[in-house]
Amino acid sequence: MPALSPTMTEGNLSKWLIKKGDTVKAGDLIAEIETDKATMEVEAVDEGVVLDLLFKEGEANIPVNKAIAIIGDPNEKVEVKKEAPVEKVIEEKKIEKNIETKIDNNNADIIDTPSPKIEEDRNLSSEEITMRQALRDTMAEEMRKDNKVFILGEEVAEYQGAYKVTQGLLQEFGKERVLDTPISEHGFTGLAVGAAFKGLRPILEFMTFNFSMQAIDQIINSAAKTLYMSGGQINCPIVFRGPNGAAAQVAAQHSQDFSSWYSQVPGLKVIAPSTPYNAKGLLRSAISDPNPVIFLENEILYGLKGPVNNDVNFSIPIGKANIEKEGKDLTIVTYSIMLQKSKEAALRLKEEYNLDAEIIDLQTLRPLDTETILNSVKKTNRLITVEESWPFGSVGSEIANIVQRDAFDYLDSPVIKVNSADVPMPYALSLEKLYLPQVDDIINAAKKVSYIK
Amino acid sequence: MKKLQKADYIKMYSFMLKIRRFEERAAQLYGMGKIGGFCHLYIGQEAVVVGILMTIDKNDSVVTTYRDHGHMIARGLDPKRIMAELTGREDGYSAGKGGSMHMFSKENNFYGGHGIVGAQVPIGTGIAFTHKYNGEKNICRTYIGDGAMNNGQVFEAFNLAALWKLPVLYIIENNKYGMGTSVDRAAAGLDLYKRGEAFGIPGEKVDGMNVFSVIEAADKAGKYVREGNGPYIIEVQTYRYRGHSMSDPAKYRTKEELDNYKQTDPIEIVKAEILKKKIATNDEIEKINKDTLEEIKNAAEFATNSPFPKDSELYTDVYL
């Protein structure tokens, strides 16, 4: 099973294009593989006779690097056991490593364990769906409700979304409401902002937020400020969404986290979902909001599975954090992908150091739910923040400021921030791991605020 | 071409004069310290926006640059409230929060007043997108300064407008200078109206000192766009008598050049036409002059007496 995208960990065998006994040459198409992003045809690299097909058509979740067919010389004896363990080269760099307790061994999906509060949700689905599905469903539901909602961006229509988040929307809503744009962020962002001024409700997908740099003038100077500059006359109901932060080995220009950049701007609301459940509730709030909303998804989380609330009116209010796990010894404030690492760290902190960490998942970065943070700190007296952004002026920096200002007397130790390294993202697998906050970094920070050597 | 009635001549003259008197008064208030910040005057360019005005439908949309006072007057907005915005008072169109460069009137389909060179071009294209999306027969008139014609997002907008056949009329107000840099020092290729050719957008050049030429071109272009043929570009050759902004002494050009343009003053051209066609007498013209002066004087008085925004307004209108 070949790795056909930077974030692919497994694939589905959609179709065999060869059969046993066929002779294939290098370059011949041999199979169709469904990845986390698309369905792709795979070519043979070697020449020979198809000796065996190790998986049937339709078999799913085949790990990357697993043998799927044997091509060779019929006169030579080849032995490959279907169940033979294969070298797991890619596993090393994956977040799954850090949340292995939640990985079903027969299925490499990341499964979110909902917080106790969410488990109380009576409408919680028994079925677990991926984050991309949750986002897609919510957009479709809102587009059914209001024909002023439309989506535009690169590859959102015919390609079905660069990360398959808009899959099927073109078929359901047509090309008037699902628009492929040229690679022209500055232009189509300004166009969408103008459409929002005039009363439409665009959902604009950035293929990744790295490319929003091309359009940041329209986001800040036009979308965020016009309500104010017009004395309250012209609002801009638009959602800018797409993956933010690091994917896997895509290096400096495609891995930046923009959460603190956008959170600095009055006039914008900034949301960073962490699970399929809150992605659904928060995206609905974002689309319904009359203001411009930056909706920061995460590419690695697109495959995260979990239960959701399928009520088409279910929403999570903007500006409200979720206490993911209650605890008494220290507070971990985090958001987006770092929630999963923080949960893993909390399990180990309990096991190894008997520390009971409270985890706050911010969900919204602006407006920030300072009340929930302060109440937690007043209870635990210790705080660490965990986020993927660069350290200087990060969301954690602001939280540290708020907490020292409003809860100074409650703190038993200085606030410690866990961030990415203060360098551009490197390409090499080993350096990338060093760059990103890891579970051990969170544990070390927790030990430090608890004065554990 | 659109058939002009007698009343149209009077309307044109009145609006152009109103813009001129307004801008002169704004300059005076600026000198008195009543208007702050940046203030870009439209004197000399009046025939452009008034010519376009004569072909506009009230449900059409308009978006323009920071040189926007004249555009607002031509859209029929109240000079009192425009001036009050310039003085930063609560009766201003943006309640004193926008200032000279950022004024809007949603009820009049006037979408700014944009301070970032070129930014209004994709925005106007998006407003046109909305007209089409909603199945309306209206168009969006998007004004562009010559300086913005070297700005990347303008061409991204042209491409999208042509690709999606959007009902947008682009009007390049070529007043010869982007701040202090003349067009020939900024643009490779002086025919700015041809810059849509690669996208299949037709364009033409028009004498912007003569309101009748502007009307003729705007009428033709407006029809083309309204009929669903996609975007169109008009490059209007005009001239600003004043500097780029109030603080610009305009030393980059000669006095002769300015005097030369004043020979073809757009307001004088209309006035001469009115007298020639005996649409109004000299006395009637004088009455318009006097009434206009009075109206603008009142606007200035209103704008300097309107209260400053309340302190509590600092934190309003950030979010809806």
Q: Which sequence spans correspond to the domains of chain B? A: 6-311
- From A146-150, A283-287, B37-41, B159-163, the region with the lowest mean pLDDT: B37-41
Q: CA-to-CA distance for A4 and A41, rounded, in angstroms?
A: 10
CATH code of the region B6-311: 3.40.50.970
Comparing CA positions, the residue from B39, B23, B1, B33 lying closest to residue B211 is B1
A385 and A281 share a domain?
A: no
- The C-alpha angle A386, A424, A156, rounded to 5 degrees, equals 80
Residue type, A47: E
Task: Report the chain A residue with the minimal C-alpha distance to residue B63.
Answer: A194
What is the reported pLDDT for A383?
Answer: 98
> In 3-state terms, what secondary structure has residue B274?
helix
CA A11, A15, A17, A20 dihedral sign is: positive
Query: Is A17 part of any domain?
Result: yes
Residue with tokens 């010869």: B176
Query: pLDDT tens digit string along A335-368?
Result: 999 999 999 999 999 999 999 999 999 999 999 9
A247 and A271 share a domain?
A: yes
Residue with tokens 């969404």: A241
What is the reported pLDDT for A114?
Answer: 78
Of A309, A344, A371, the domain-final residue = A309
Contact A362, A337 (CB under 8 A): no
Q: CA-to-CA distance for A63 and A60, rounded, in angstroms?
A: 9
Mean pLDDT of B269-280: 96
A147 touches chain B (CB under 8 A): no
Query: pLDDT tens digit string along A24-61?
Result: 988 889 999 988 777 888 888 888 999 999 999 999 99
The CATH number covering residue A222 comes to 3.40.50.970
Confidence bin at B95 (pLDDT 50/70/90) = very high
Residue type, A416: I
Q: Which residues pair with A27 in a beta bridge?
A: none
A295 and A343 share a domain?
A: no
> In 3-state terms, what secondary structure has residue A31?
strand
A300 and A344 share a domain?
A: no
A79 and A225 share a domain?
A: no
Query: Is A114 part of any domain?
Result: no
Q: CA-to-CA distance for A219 and A411, rounded, in angstroms?
A: 38
Contact A257, A420 (CB under 8 A): yes
> In 3-state terms, what secondary structure has residue A346?
helix
Q: CA-to-CA distance for B25 and B266, rounded, in angstroms?
A: 19
H or E stretch including A49?
Answer: strand A48-53
Beta strands (DSSP E) in chain B are 61-64, 110-113, 140-145, 168-174, 177-178, 181-182, 203-207, 232-237
DSSP-assigned letters across all residues of B155-205 = HHHHHHHHHTT--EEEEEEE-SEETTEEHHHH-SSS-GGGGGGGGT--EEE
Q: Tell whether the model's pLDDT for residue A102 goes beyond 60.
A: no
Comparing CA positions, the residue from B130, B188, B118, B190 lying closest to residue B158 is B118
Residue type, A251: A
Cβ <8 Å between B97 and A200 = no
- Give, to the nearest 10 degrees, the angle between helix B211-224 and helix B46-53: 40
Domain encompassing residue A379: 93-106+321-449
CA distances from B163 to A246, B125, B160 (A): 33, 12, 5
pLDDT > 70 in chain B, percent: 100
Query: Is A3 part of any domain?
Result: no
Comparing CA positions, the residue from A223, A157, A154, A213 lying closest to residue A190 is A223
What is the reported pLDDT for A4?
Answer: 85
Q: CA-to-CA distance for A81 and A57, rounded, in angstroms?
A: 18
Q: Note if the bond before A367 is cis, omega within 30 degrees.
A: yes
A23 and A58 share a domain?
A: yes
Query: Is A32 part of any domain?
Result: yes
More confident residue, A9 or B33: B33
Mean pLDDT of A168-174: 98
CA distances from B166 to A187, B92, B162, B231 (A): 14, 32, 7, 6
Beta strands (DSSP E) in B147-277 are 168-174, 177-178, 181-182, 203-207, 232-237
Residues of chain B with C-beta less than 8 angstroms from the C-beta of A181: 160
Which residue in the list A10, A96, A185, A299 is annotated as catalytic?
A: A185
Q: CA-to-CA distance for A175 and B140, rounded, in angstroms?
A: 22
Of A309, A341, A363, the domain-final residue = A309
Taking the CB of residue B182, how many other CB atoms lie within 10 A of it? Answer: 13
A248 and A367 share a domain?
A: no
- From A107-111, B34-38, B48-52, B216-220, the region with the lowest mean pLDDT: A107-111
Cβ <8 Å between B156 and A188 = yes
* Pairing relationship of beta strands A39-43 and A29-34 according to DSSP bridges: antiparallel
A97 and A66 share a domain?
A: no
A residues 276-335 near B, CB within 8 Å?
290-291
The CATH number covering residue A390 comes to 3.40.50.920
Query: Is A366 part of any domain?
Result: yes
Contact B62, B49 (CB under 8 A): no
Burial class of B273 by CB neighbour count within 10 A (0 to 12, 13 to 18, 19+): middle
Task: Report the chain A residue with the minimal C-alpha distance to residue B98.
Answer: A229
Query: pLDDT tens digit string along A66-86?
Result: 999 998 888 876 666 555 444
Query: Is A250 part of any domain?
Result: yes
What tokens does B283 get? 């006395």
* Pairing relationship of beta strands A29-34 and A10-16 according to DSSP bridges: antiparallel
Comparing CA positions, the residue from A238, A250, A255 lying closest to residue A203 is A238
A202 and A292 share a domain?
A: yes
Residue with tokens 């059914």: A144
Mean pLDDT of B131-157: 97
Residue with tokens 């689309």: A287
Q: What are phi and psi of A259, to 5 degrees?
A: -60, -45
A235 and A196 share a domain?
A: yes
A237 and A268 share a domain?
A: yes
Whether A128 sits among the annotated catalytic residues: the reply is: no
Of A288, A309, A330, the domain-final residue = A309
A403 to chain B, closest Cα gap in Å: 23
Cβ <8 Å between B157 and A187 = yes
B98 touches chain A (CB under 8 A): yes
What is the reported pLDDT for B10?
Answer: 97
B residues 37-76 near A, CB within 8 Å?
61, 63
Contact A299, A247 (CB under 8 A): yes
- From A75-79, A221-225, A358-362, A439-443, the region with the lowest mean pLDDT: A75-79
What is the reported pLDDT for A106?
Answer: 35
Comparing CA positions, the residue from B32, B12, B15 lying closest to residue B301 is B32
Confidence bin at A123 (pLDDT 50/70/90) = confident
Give A78-96 as a 3 state SS string: CCCCCCCCCCCCHHHHCHH
Residue with tokens 């008085």: B301
Q: Tell whether the model's pLDDT for residue A18 goes beyond 80.
A: yes
The CATH number covering residue A35 comes to 2.40.50.100
Q: What is the DSSP letter of A312?
A: T
A267 and A350 share a domain?
A: no
Q: What are phi and psi of B236, to 5 degrees?
A: -100, 120
Cβ neighbours of residue B274 closer than 8 Å, sequence gap 6 or more? B9, B10, B13, B280, B285
Q: What is the CA radius of gyration of chain B?
A: 19
**Pick from A182, A196, A232: which is nearest to B159 by CB?**
A182
Q: Tell whether the model's pLDDT for residue A421 goes beyond 90.
A: yes
Q: What is the DSSP letter of A210?
A: G
Query: Is A5 part of any domain?
Result: no
What is the reported pLDDT for A82?
Answer: 55
Cβ neighbours of residue B279 closer than 8 Å, sequence gap 6 or more? B6, B9, B10, B273
Q: CA-to-CA distance for B235 and B238, rounded, in angstroms?
A: 9
Q: What is the DSSP letter of A427?
A: S
Which residue in the list A96, A141, A142, A254 is annotated as catalytic?
A: A254
Mutate to test the interface with B, among A151, A198, A201, A364 (most CBs of B within 10 A): A198
Dihedral (Cα; A324, A328, A333, A338), 10-degree rounding: -60
Q: Tell whether the model's pLDDT for residue A110 goes beyond 70.
A: no
A282 to chain B, closest Cα gap in Å: 18
B116 touches chain A (CB under 8 A): yes
CA distances from B72 to B18, B106, B110, B111, B214 (A): 11, 12, 8, 10, 18
Q: CA-to-CA distance for A340 and B71, rounded, in angstroms?
A: 54
Q: What is the mean pLDDT of chain A?
A: 91
Q: What is the CA radius of gyration of chain A?
A: 23
pTM, rounded to two decimals: 0.90
CA A12, A16, A21, A27 dihedral sign is: negative
Cβ <8 Å between B124 and A194 = yes
What is the reported pLDDT for A119?
Answer: 80
Q: Indicate the number of domains in chain A.
A: 3
Q: Could you tell me how many CB contacts below 8 A there are between chain A and chain B?
A: 147
Whether A83 sits among the annotated catalytic residues: the reply is: no
Comparing CA positions, the residue from A275, A128, A290, A285 lying closest to residue A201 is A290
